[in-house]
Each structure stands twice: as structure tokens, then as C-alpha cells.
Amino acid sequence: MTVDTENHPGSHPDRDLACQQAVEGPLQEILADAKTKGWATIETLSAMEEVLKHLRLAYEKDPNAASETDPDPTNDWPAADPLPH
């Protein structure tokens, strides 16, 4: 599941529409996958809306948080800490 590369400069009047088109396919894939797992489309859409609300709130608090990734999230586990000598 991938999002198409943007091809409009930041000031292009259709940039927002292009982004919608780029994410629609992956979102449709999520809906289809959820349906095969037993989730109704409307409840999946509702869940996605709630998740998006939370993501927007988190982004408003820290716009950089979404772009920061830990290269190795397994290192967050205490068991990943080196043993004392």
C-alpha cells in the first residue's frame, strides 16, 4: 500500500485534490482489508475518522512528531538495554 508521489508545487491550486486522490487508493485498501476481517465498512470509516482526529490533534501539538521515526523501535524495550557488567 503506497501513496503516489506529489507532482504539484506547494502553491498549485489543485495540490489538495491531488493529495486526496493519492491517499484514496490506500484508504480503499484499508476498507477492503477490514471488511475481509469482519469489520463493517461504516464502523471502519468511523474508526478511521476518530484516528484521523487524534492524529490531527497530535500534529497540532507537535508537527514534527509524525515525521520522526526511531530507526529501531525494538530498542525501546528494557530487554534491549545492554546488560550491566
The 8-class DSSP code of residue 71 comes to: S
Q: Calculate ∠ Cα 68-56-65, nearest 5°.
A: 15
Cα–Cα distance for residue pair 42/35, rounded to 1 Å: 10
- What is the predicted pLDDT for the residue at 47? 97
Q: Which residue has the higher pLDDT, 4 or 52?
A: 52
- All 3 cell numbers of residue 59? 500534529
Question: 3-class DSSP state for residue 9?
Answer: coil
Residue with more model confidence, 37 or 10: 37
Per-residue pLDDT tens digits for 45-60: 999 999 999 999 999 9
Q: For residue 81, what pLDDT band results from cuts at 50, 70 and 90?
A: low
pLDDT tens-digit readout, 19-34: 999 999 999 999 999 9
